[in-house]
Structure 1
């Protein structure tokens, strides 16, 4: 799966410093938030990156580059930092949210069983389907033309680079195989990106000892 991940040159032209560290994790035994994952979240909240940190501002600049307003639709890590205490979702999601706020980088997770085809980071045409829940009911939304999105063969999996994930591919308590995307812009170093990845893998190994993990770094352009 991660061997097929593609960052389109049109995205690289916006931010040549973009890199994504990906992890394919198989054999998870996920579950609801527990005392261990709550402790991860509480510790991360105490050590969270400040909203004015240059690593967060870099993402706001990236959003502006494709026409988004980061004060209205915030990069995922910016939104998390402003949402304290951190939300409890499930053990795997709690793990990557904790690492995200501690290191000041967006992290996403996808259920491999619900993903179709390779993951691609592209500029949207505007007609791609994006599955959401509105007023408690399933609905289909669409990105704006030129918006930076993650997508698979069935449609958009995450809008505005890392702002909002679709319902279809999100990690749930039943997820067994997953992949994770740790997204970096300068001034974050590739060394810090790898350190964040190591922390995430360590927490996921606490969730499930014996998981099978493969990784790949894509970029910078």
Structure 2
């Protein structure tokens, strides 16, 4: 999977400064939130900085493809605004949400086994399916034409770059193989991105010392 994750030229043209650190964590049994994972959320809230320049960079990126960032906020903005009252979800989601808040960085977590083909970041045609739950029932939406989305062979996995995840690939308490996307724009340094990745992998190893971790940086100097 790592070698097959792509960012299309249309997205690179929109934001040449974009980079994503892709991390896989396989053989990592998940489970309900516990004292350790909720302590991570509490500690992250104490270090949260909603005024970090990275948040403004993501607002600019959203406006560039027609989204309204104050109506559909980038994930890092939404998390930082809720940092003191973030709900505990499960151990792995708590871990990556804590990293997102502490490092002022959008972090997406996905169930690797739910993917159909590789993840790729594209500008949407507008007819791709995006599965959600509405009123407690399964439903399907579609992205706006030109919207930046993550997708696989079955459809959109995350709308508006990192705004909202589909139901199909969410990490649950039974997920064992995980995919994480740590996304960065200028002026966020690449070294800071790598440090956030190290922080996340350290937490994942604390949850399960036998986890098999791989990583790949897409963007930055390789472009």
What CA deviation, in whole Å up to 9, does each residue of 1:17-57 have, x standing for no partner?
0000011111011111110001000000000122x221110
Q: Secondary structure at the match of 2:12?
A: helix
Contact 1:124-1:146 within 8 A present in 2 as well: yes
> What is the Cα deviation at residue 207 of structure 1?
1.2
Q: How far apart, in 2, do the equivalents of 1:2 and 1:158 lie?
A: 18
Residue 118 (1) aligns with residue 118 (2): yes
What CA deviation, in whole Å up to 9, does each residue of 1:165-205 have, x standing for no partner?
00000100100111100000011100000000000001111
Q: How far apart, in 2, do the equivalents of 1:31 and 1:49 lie?
A: 29
State the superposition RMSD in angstroms. Answer: 0.7
Instruction: Name segments (4+ residues, structure 1) moved above 4 Å.
Output: none
For residue 101 of structure 1, what is the aligned residue in structure 2?
101
> What is the Cα deviation at residue 154 of structure 1?
0.1
> What is the Cα deviation at residue 2 of structure 1?
1.1
TM-score with structure 2 length normalisation? 0.97
TM-score with structure 1 length normalisation? 0.98
Gaps in structure 2 of 5+ consecutive residues: none
Contact 1:30-1:208 within 8 A present in 2 as well: no
Aligned residues: 220
Residue 37 (1) aligns with residue 37 (2): yes
For residue 26 of structure 2, what is the aligned residue in structure 1?
26
Gaps in structure 1 of 5+ consecutive residues: none
What CA deviation, in whole Å up to 9, does each residue of 1:137-166 have, x standing for no partner?
000000000000000000000000000000
For residue 76 of structure 2, what is the aligned residue in structure 1?
77
Alignment of 1:111-150 (within 5 A): 111-150=111-150
Residue 56 (1) aligns with residue 55 (2): yes
For residue 167 of structure 1, what is the aligned residue in structure 2?
167
Q: How far apart, in 1, do the equivalents of 2:166 and 2:49 lie?
A: 26
Contact 1:97-1:107 within 8 A present in 2 as well: yes
